[in-house]
Amino acid sequence: MRVINILAAMFVLGCGVYLSLNHSHDLFMGVGYTSKQAWVATAMSEVMFIVGGINLAASRLRGYKPSIPAYLGFWQGLGLVGWSNIAATFEYGLAGWLLGGSIVTTVLIMESVMMAETKKKQKTEEKTEEHADRQPEPRKSARRVAYAEETVEAVTDEPALENAVASAVETVEPVAEAVTQTVEDVVTEEEAVEESVEAAVDAVTEPVTAVERTVADVEPAVDVVEPVEEAVAETIAEEEKTVATVEDAVADEEPTVAPQDPVAVAKEKALEVYRTEGKLPGRPRLMKLAGCRQNHAKRAIDELKAELGLAS
C-alpha cells in the first residue's frame, strides 16, 4: 500500500505542478515580462515553493527545528504560487478562487503523503532493529564448556606447550626463507624495470629534441607571414567598413512602418468575440487572442464597456 500511496502522490503532484507552472507563466506575462523571462521567474517561484516544503518536512522527519531561511523560502514560494493560481481564475468569483487555491493545497497534501509514508518506513525499520537487539543470547552448550576446559588443561601442560612451540618454529623457518627469496627476486625485477624506464625516456627525448629543432627552423618563416596577415586583416576591415556604410544608406532609404497600438488591436479582437458570442472575453482570453499584456487587455475591455454601454 505504501508504494501505491507514493506513486499516486507523485502523479497528483506532477499534475498540480504542471497547472501551477502555466498559471505562474501567465501571471508574469501579464505584468510585462517576455515569454523567456516569465519562464525563468516561474521556475524560480515553483522550485522555491517545492524545495521549501520538502526542507520543512525533512526537518520534522529527522527531529530538528527548521531554519529561518527554510521558512522564508517556503512562505515566499507559497505566496507567489498561490497568487498566480488564484489570479488565473479570479474573474470567476468565489468558485474560481477556491479552485485556484486548491491546486496549491493539493501540492502540499501530496508532499505530506509522501513524507508520511517515508516516515512510516523509517519507524518500521527502527522497530525491527530494536526487536533484533532484544533477542536473547544463545546459551552455551555443555559440550562447548567441556572443550574450553580441555583447552585450558592443554595450555597449562608445559612439556606439551614446548613441543608445540618447537613444531611451530620448524614450520615457520622454511616459510621465512621462501619470503626472503621472493623479496630478493622482486628487488631484482625492480632494478630491471628502472633500466627499461630510463631507456624508454631516452627514446622519447630524442624525437622531442628533433621537433624543437624543426620549430626553431620554422620561426623565421612565421616572421615573414605575420606582416602579410596584418595587411590582409587591414584590407578586410576596410571592406567591412564599406559594407556597413552601404547597409546604413539602404536602411535610411527603407520606409519605416509605424507600430500598431496594442490597445487598438485588443479592442478589435474583443469586438470580434462580442459580435460572435454576444459578450466580451475575459482578460486572460483577450491576452492570448491579441498577444498583449494584461494592462492593455484591461484597458481595451474597460473602453469597450464604456462605448457599448455595458459598464456596471
List all residues 6 or more positions away from 114 whose beta carbon is below 8 Å from its beta carbon: 5, 6, 9, 10, 13
Give the other-Cβ count within 10 Å of 46's Cβ: 20
**pLDDT exceeds 90 at position 268:** yes
pLDDT digits (tens, 9 = 90+) for 35-62: 888 899 888 888 887 887 777 777 777 7
Segment of 8-22, 163-177, 207-221, 262-276 carrying the highest mean pLDDT: 262-276
**103 within 8 A of 78, measured Cβ to Cβ:** no
Which cell numbers in the block locate residue 220?
623565421
pLDDT band at 249 (very low <50, low <70, confident <90, very high): low
Lowest mean pLDDT among 167-171, 184-188, 220-224: 220-224
Give the other-Cβ count within 10 Å of 78's Cβ: 18
**9 within 8 A of 106, measured Cβ to Cβ:** no
Q: Tell me, what's the pLDDT at 19? A: 79
Q: Tell me, what's the pLDDT at 257? A: 46
Mean pLDDT of 137-156: 60
Which cell numbers in the block locate residue 90?
479570479
Q: Tell me, what's the pLDDT at 274? A: 92
Q: Tell me, what's the pLDDT at 151? A: 62
Q: Tell me, what's the pLDDT at 265? A: 92
Rounded Cα distance, 106 and 13, in Å: 7
pLDDT digits (tens, 9 = 90+) for 299-310: 999 999 888 887
pLDDT band at 255 (very low <50, low <70, confident <90, very high): very low
pTM of model > 0.85: no
Mean pLDDT of 128-147: 59
Mean pLDDT of 155-170: 62
Angle of helix 2-30 relative to helix 283-290, nearest 10 degrees? 70
**Mean pLDDT rounded to a whole number for the chain:** 75
pLDDT digits (tens, 9 = 90+) for 99-133: 877 877 887 787 777 777 776 666 666 666 665 55
Q: Tell me, what's the pLDDT at 295? A: 92
Rounded Cα distance, 83 and 227, in Å: 66
**pLDDT exceeds 90 at position 190:** no
Lowest mean pLDDT among 195-199, 214-218, 234-238, 240-244: 214-218
Rounded Cα distance, 15 and 106, in Å: 10
Q: Tell me, what's the pLDDT at 54? A: 79
